[in-house]
Chains A and B, each alone.
Chain A
Amino acid sequence: MFDATKMTELKTKKKEWMEKQEATLKKRPERKPGFSTDSQIEIERVYTPADLGEYDYDEKLGLPGDYPYTRGVQPTMYRGRHWTMRQYAGFGSAEETNERFKYLLQQGQTGLSCAFDLPTQIGYDSDDSMARGEVGKVGVAIDSLKDMEILFDGIPLDKVSTSMTINAPAAVLLAMYIAVGEKQGFTPEKLKGTIQNDILKEYVARGTYIFPPAPSMRLITNIFEYCAKNVPNWNTISISGYHIREAGASAVQEVAFTLADGIAYVDAAIKAGLDVDKFAPRLSFFFNAHLNFFEEIAKFRAARRVWAKIMKERFGAKAPKSLMLRFHTQTAGCTLTAQQPDVNIMRVAFQALSAVLGGTQSLHTNSRDEALALPTEHSVLIALRTQQVVGYEIGAADTVDPMGGSYYVEKLTDEIEAKVWEYINKIDELGGAPKSIELGYMQKEIHESAYRYQKAIESGDQIVIGVNKFQMKEEPPKDLLRVDPAVEKFQVSKTTNVRDERDNEAVQKCLGALEEAAKTDANLMPFIIDAVKAYATLGEICNVLRKEFGEYQAAVVL
């Protein structure tokens, strides 16, 4: 792209320029002996076009909406429509969460994102002994269709798109959502939304698995197949790097492990006989926006380029939508500090900006008080307003990929891509993502990065304002959100009522049919939908599957 003779001249010029500074640097050295990104990529003093080497614009970047989608998946990006502003919310009962949802929609939020409590995520009803102390704590408790009806009461499911952070029992929650939609008068093809449905990263980093890998992958491909036919606007999976990053991975590891998981899902679906261009357009991704501003922007751009190549070259996908990496972003929860929590507002703002400059399709901004508790309504409002400032006031959304062509960002994009390929090749050599997880490879890599980061904070190499620099004496914050401990009792009595009032014979029949189907290779979605419509509970359905599939026993990797 650049004139070769001029580039050679520029290279010499930069070298001379570096040498010229040596004497001064001996007297007045730079702040640190060396600079590097979170992924240990060395950062130079300045970047020029000569640092990019031989550069083929079309091959590396293309125009927005064109292969390899480095500059964005749509031609107009945010000039057409802003990203979806989608705050992850949910706590206590369905009644309370329904109120929070309606509040967020009134404040201009454009999509819902539902957090479920841990018993729901692990397939236990609120009255199960395993649920002790956890009901309604990190999200809303859903036991039966009854709760789901309350959760979306007064929210038209044909208008609002809903993302649900649910993995091991994703099929059950999706079935409930379809049933609520029908009760509101909408057929499944009208429904828009996402289920996370990414079990591999649960084994690696997030921990809400139920079943072993093989039956879990079967449930996932059942969902791909069912939705391709019946719920065409549904994102059937959100392949997530977010939690891998939160567990301590670097930016490079986040992208590499996520795309390796993606490869495993595509492989599984193709092996199950699905046509790649039928299901791939509904695959979506979920990344973390961390602190290292430019590396994060480059990371998002590199991820798009690598995924497009994987889909085209490895899987032979033809439909442009199969090649596009569309993603949700959440700002990095692990960068929030309990100390001087208002400073978190600034961290989140920069992280949000990096996601927007990286071309995200939707965004959750964390609240300032989340290192202390679930966020209050006021904190969530500030977080949502932060996105609105980025979207409406500062001009960041007015041209597509404004960082494209920055010598530094393009160089980082290239370097991240190269390192991501190294990891993907390594994982291929180990036998793919599921195998490398079984071997504890990803877990070990992540733990090493996490430990290195902690050591860097403790040595002061990594500055965290309020923690190891600029500390202050402060009063403990007072206005934290508390989940009412009565929610557990309330939830148990509601579910007891459901069990008393439903047609228990019909429930048993549906659960029996599901059990039989689980023994064959039938698609389980229709059986699960029948069961939830009969008000079988989440725990009852998951127990049938536990009996058939068994439970995953994690190896402790440390």
Chain B
Amino acid sequence: MSDKKIRVLVAKPGLDGHDRGAKVIAQALRDAGMEVIYTGLRQTPEAIVETAVQEDVQVIGLSILSGAHLALFPPVVELLKKQGVNDVLVIGGGIIPDDDIPALKEAGISEIFTPGTSTQDIIDFINANVK
């Protein structure tokens, strides 16, 4: 890994307005020396991928608390692939039942962080897995 700062896009897909977690994590990643862009609310998977490509990020962190994760996380990975982007680490978090995690990982989401996760665990995961 180079000394260049890791660039992360924190994104809120769907209509969910709960962004306390997304903002806390954005700040924690920033404090850990990463460059963080936060999309704000109500992003479509298309808009998220567009921003990710434009901003040349290495990591996308998706947050959903509404239960729409199975419908909205996988399209982000699919759209990245369609654009030939294969080196972006995609991770997710929110109110996500354990039973849904295998399907999300199958779809290419590298890790799912559920309530109670320490921000340090997320920082460590990104440092260890960023491509």
Contact = CB atoms under 8 A, between A and B. Distances in A.
Report if A and B associate in a common complex. Answer: yes
Interface of A: 118-119, 121-122, 124, 130-134, 137-138, 202, 205-208, 246-248, 334, 337-339, 371-374, 447, 450-451, 454, 457-458, 464, 466-467, 476, 480, 483, 554, 556, 558
Interface of B: 14-20, 23-24, 26-28, 38-42, 44, 66-68, 70-72, 95, 97-99, 114-116, 118-120
Counting chain A CB atoms within 10 Å of each CB, which of B38, B66, B68, B72 scores highest? B68
Given A372-B95, A451-B27, A207 B17 contact: yes
A208 B97 contact: no
B16 A476 contact: no
Contact of A118 (B14, B23, B95, B98): B14
Contact of A130 (B15, B67, B71): B15
24 contacts: A122-B42, A131-B15, A133-B68, A137-B66, A137-B68, A138-B67, A206-B18, A207-B17, A207-B41, A207-B42, A246-B20, A248-B20, A371-B95, A371-B116, A372-B97, A373-B67, A451-B23, A451-B24, A457-B118, A467-B116, A476-B97, A476-B98, A480-B97, A483-B67
A391 B56 CA distance: 57
Contacts of A464: 116
B99 A476 contact: yes
Contacts of A339: 116
Contact of B23 (A202, A450, A466, A554): A450
Given A207-B16, A247-B20, A338 B115 contact: yes
Contacts of A133: 14, 68, 70-72
Contacts of A205: 17
A207 B27 CA distance: 20
Given A130-B44, A208-B15, A476-B99, 13 more contacts: A132-B68, A134-B16, A134-B71, A137-B68, A338-B115, A451-B24, A454-B28, A464-B116, A466-B116, A476-B97, A476-B98, A554-B40, A558-B27
Nearest to B15: A118
Contacts of B28: 451, 454
Judged by DSSP, the binding face of A is loop
Contacts of A554: 40-41
A119 B20 contact: no
Contact of A338 (B24, B27, B114): B114
A118 B16 contact: yes
B117 to A, nearest CB: 9
Contact of A373 (B18, B23, B70, B97): B97
Q: List the 9 closest pairs (A to B, CB-CB), nearest first.
A: A207-B17, A133-B71, A133-B68, A118-B15, A476-B98, A137-B67, A556-B40, A338-B115, A467-B116
Judged by DSSP, the binding face of B is loop
Nearest to B24: A454
Contacts of B66: 118, 134, 137-138
Contacts of A119: 15
Nearest to B69: A133
B114 to A, nearest CB: 6
A45 to B, nearest CB: 32
B17 A208 contact: yes
Nearest to B19: A207
A124 B26 CA distance: 29
Contacts of B17: 202, 205-208
Contacts of A132: 14, 68, 71-72
Counting chain A CB atoms within 10 Å of each CB, which of B42, B67, B118 scores highest? B67
Nearest to A467: B116
Nearest to B70: A133
Nearest to B25: A454
B9 to A, nearest CB: 12
A556 B27 CA distance: 13
A458 B119 CA distance: 8
Contacts of B38: 556, 558
B53 to A, nearest CB: 19
A486 to B, nearest CB: 13
A435 to B, nearest CB: 20
